[in-house]
Chains A and B, each alone.
Chain A
Amino acid sequence: MEKKQLFTISVFTENQVGLLNRISIIFTRRGLNLESVSSSASSVHGIHKMNFTCNSDRETMEKVISQIERCIDVLRAFLYTDDEIVYQEVALYKVPTQKLLDEKDFERIIRVHNARILELTREYTILEKTGHESETQALYELLAKYGILQFIRSGRICITKSPTEHFTRYLEEQEARGKALCDTSEE
């Protein structure tokens, strides 16, 4: 059995209802747990990009990728390991303000972790930190002693390190295919 590792799956899709469900059930069927999910517009107008992270082995993930690509309205799916991408997550922390003020270390925590204060009230303070999961987790553990009132971490977002934009080229090919079909059907 090949070793498990964390993979990032980026999926480019048309903007159609129900695609997230269609794609996520491909993971569910194989009993794969999604570590994180994020979805947003991509750099190409009208095309959405979903990012998933999943702990699995490469062979399984490659099969999942082909089953995702088989879905109607999915344009392409890509599989990445951490070294192939630049990725970030954002985390928000809500902590009691009084406890923070009582703590001498507070300024150092903010500085070392490069966190930002988004909102400060008498009752609570909301901090924000972007980084890798291990980094946002480290801050979580430090703040835990003040009592964290609320915490949330986003899904991973990523951009590839590849110098060529494979997806853009793919899209051009598909549109050329459409144009060719259109030309022949009008003859």
Chain B
Amino acid sequence: MSERITGAEAICRALLAEGVDTIFGYPGGQIMPFYDKLYDFTDSLRHILTRHEQGAVHAAQGYARASGRVGVVTVTSGPAATNVITGLGDANIDCTPIVVITGQVGVASLGTDAFQETDVIGITQPITKWAYQIRRPEEIPWAMARAFYIATTGRPGAVVLDITRDAQVGTLDWSYKKTNYIRSYNPAPELQPGEIISAAALINRSERPLILSGHGVMLSEAETDLLALAEKADIPVATTLLGLSTIPSEHPLNKGMVGMHGNIGPNIATNNADVILAVGMRFDDRVTGVIKSYAPQAKIIHIDIDSAEFNKNVKAHIAIHADAKTALRALLPQINKADRKEWLTTFERPENVEQAEVIERETDPKDLGPESPMRMGEVVRKLSEATGNKAIVVTDVGQNQMMSARYSSYTMPKSMITSGGLGTMGFCLPAAIGAKLAEPSREVLAFMGDGGFQMTMQELGTILEYRIGVKMVLLNNNYLGNVRQWQAMFYNNRFSATPMVNPDFVAIAAAYGIPAENVSCRAELDSAIARMAAHDGAYLLNVNIDPTDMVFPMVTPGSAIDNILINATDKYEA
């Protein structure tokens, strides 16, 4: 005889069956039956009450990105559901597995503009992998199993389950089976041996191959497979922003990051390469620059689990429809050992120029004295080094993001969490909370600007309540720095709506019981970092950043990827 339980209890049991132990959320009217039942599951389901629903969904994203597990969110209907929209869009475009459960009004009230009713499915369909409304309790096991299967497999993404009050309070005969099959959805396509043979032949014949390692490498945990292939064939590797930490920073074949603020070497190499092996990346416009002059000499081998990415932005000469790990493992035995010293040597000149003209100015500014405000790069590099380059780096969006990406070093996978596709300001603080909860033994460094921090600053309350040991670094220039940079470069220094009058951030942190200090000049930086590193628990450094500091190199919008500014006026001359 099967057990008769409520829908609310079925949700809790299904979460446990899917291996969930942490939920981020916020209660409210139409999700109350679930929250009431959750009270009985306190020992097995840890609920983190964030201070805003947007915080809950970003925290779930951080949790998922740091651990590879599913981030789960539970919120109520109406405004709570609309507050998770940004996070859904962010998670879906950055392939982050999350399942968001929203409460919904009773079935009889659907479509009547009832109190706190919104058309959650209609709103979320365009920005989720799957969105489904549950009206009857009997649907819960089926829909929950499907939700977790869809969120985690293939190209991971965001799933919404909109659960009506009727489905939560009604009863069902409990039985649960995880699913591994949906007729319309094949997340593990059969590898086409012909494509692998052609790709291997192309790589073996090539003189100037380049590997682009994207988020897909991390998602399929193919880091060692990628490295094995690169080392065997002596191929330089560049990563996308979301591919950072798929190859250790110090590995001699790691040539840095591609894209608008990427390293000069791989951006130049992109347009000199004869073969590009693109693994688990989607040729975003921030990576390619203007498409028509992208990689003109290269035959492109594109490995992706999502076939809709093939030929979407860049034409693939060979498309391998598979996850990165499966494809790389199939390729490896067919790849010849090779020595590509001559090609690798071509990276030296751009690397030297970037080191001298950009990196040293940013990380060791000889032009500024000990009493001056700091540049972002030096702060990021020192903090990264203070953690032995082992931290999970979480960033907000803008200059702080690019500087964190460029000047952190990575020694372990899953060490960089950032909002890539959507570019969501306010992402960092809640995402860092989620990352720390997922991986409590790792140091979590949260780099934010003063703008983004204030978008989700209320999550300091979550840090206070759950004693989450996130190390927060505010790269504070009292400007919306990235927009300011564009205004300086392209809008004739007209700083429209970018200067910010800021509060006393140390006092704010203190109000939440979080130790914090102002770092007003370079002379104070080392000791402040040492105190933060020595402190067990959350800590905030409010670092005084030179507002004229800009992110370079830069491929300006509308330029070819090898047309690179090394400062506001000078181009890199090949």
Contacts and interface: CB of A to CB of B under 8 A. Distances in A.
B181 A21 contact: no
A69 B180 CA distance: 19
A18 B308 contact: no
A66 B308 contact: yes
A18 B121 contact: yes
Contacts of B181: 177-178, 181-182
Contact of A174 (B122, B126, B183): B183
A13 B182 CA distance: 12
Interface of A: 13-14, 17-18, 21-22, 25, 29, 62-63, 66-67, 69-70, 72-75, 171, 174-175, 177-178, 181-182, 185
B129 interface: yes
A90 B150 CA distance: 40
A70 B180 contact: no
B310 A66 contact: yes
B185 A72 contact: yes
Nearest to B149: A72
Nearest to B312: A63
Given A66-B308, A72-B182, A174-B186, 20 more contacts: A13-B184, A18-B122, A18-B125, A18-B131, A21-B125, A63-B308, A66-B307, A67-B308, A69-B308, A70-B306, A70-B308, A72-B129, A72-B150, A72-B185, A75-B183, A75-B184, A177-B186, A181-B181, A182-B181, A185-B180
Chain B residues touching A, range: 20 to 34
Nearest to B159: A72
Contacts of B308: 63, 66-67, 69-70
B2 to A, nearest CB: 21
B125 A22 contact: yes
B133 interface: yes
Chain A interface, DSSP helix/strand/loop, else mixed: helix
Chain B CB within 10 Å, residue with most, of A17, A63, A70, A75: A70
Contact of A21 (B122, B307, B312): B122
Nearest to B131: A18
Nearest to A17: B133
Contacts of B133: 17-18
A138 to B, nearest CB: 39
Interface string B110-141: 00000000000110011001111100000000
Interface string B310-342: 111000000000000000000000000000000
Nearest to A29: B126
Nearest to B178: A185
Nearest to A65: B308
A174 B183 CA distance: 6
Contacts of B125: 18, 21-22, 25
Contacts of A21: 122, 125
A14 B184 contact: yes
B184 A174 contact: yes
Q: Top 4 closest A-B pairs, CB basis?
A: A66-B308, A72-B130, A178-B181, A70-B308
A47 to B, nearest CB: 10
Contacts of B150: 72
A178 B181 CA distance: 6
Nearest to A72: B130
Contacts of A75: 183-184
A127 B311 CA distance: 47
A73 B185 CA distance: 7
21 contacts: A14-B183, A14-B184, A18-B121, A18-B133, A62-B311, A66-B307, A66-B308, A67-B308, A70-B307, A72-B130, A72-B150, A72-B182, A73-B182, A73-B184, A75-B184, A171-B183, A174-B183, A174-B184, A174-B186, A181-B180, A181-B181
